[in-house]
Amino acid sequence: MAATPVNLDLWSFEGRWQLTRVVENAVGPNMTLSGTATFSRHEDGLMLVEEGTLEVAGQPPMQGSQRYIWRPDGDQIATFFADGRDFFRFRPDGEIAAAHWCSPDQYDVVMDFTHWPEWRATWTVKGPRKDYVMRSHYRRA
């Protein structure tokens, strides 16, 4: 039975998660990623490290990784790129929507915490040379 999250905050994410990701690309090849997402204590927040095997149609599998910083911001979580640039903010409650503009591209995310401790993030990205939907599923490892 699905559970509705109660009192989630930044520290609810700490630890290791299994990560599966599917990228449906309208202007290029589709991709999948299987790996882990690890949230570790970092300064006043958490460092998110996503690592895994990226498979692109017609190419050999390759290793990929990315890093983000998550920090508490009142009743929200503020996310940043690893170099400290602002990314987006969200309240970890139910299903939420947020956005990030990175000229000339628009990034819109819907995050679903209604089946906690599993959660999903679906990014829709549009721009002059970008048109894809990226669906990520996180499950405690």
Domain at 99, CATH number = 2.40.128.20
- Cα 112 versus chain centre, distance: 11
pLDDT tens by residue, 122-132: 999 999 999 99
The pair phi, psi for residue 93, each rounded to 5°, is -150, 115
In a domain, 2, yes or no: no
In a domain, 6, yes or no: no
Kindly give, in sequence order, each residue whose CB lies less than 8 Å from that of residue 55, ignoring residues fewer than 6 positions away. 31, 32, 33, 61
Per the structure, the count of domains in the chain is 1
Give me the domain span that covers residue 120: 15-140
pLDDT at 7: 76
Q: What is the mean pLDDT of residues 125-141?
A: 97
In which band, very low, low, confident or very high, does the pLDDT at 1 lie, cut at 50, 70 and 90?
A: very low
In a domain, 10, yes or no: no
Sheet holding 62-73, edge to edge: 86-90, 76-81, 62-73, 45-56, 31-42, 15-25, 130-140, 119-127, 105-112, 95-102
Across the chain, what does the average pLDDT equal? 95
Percent of all residues in the chain with a pLDDT value above 70, rounded to a whole number = 96
* pLDDT over 60 (residue 2): no
In a domain, 8, yes or no: no
Cis peptide upstream of residue 60 (ω within 30 degrees of 0): no
In a domain, 99, yes or no: yes
CA distance 81 to 48: 10
In a domain, 9, yes or no: no
In a domain, 3, yes or no: no
pLDDT tens by residue, 69-103: 999 999 999 999 999 999 999 999 889 999 999 99
In a domain, 109, yes or no: yes
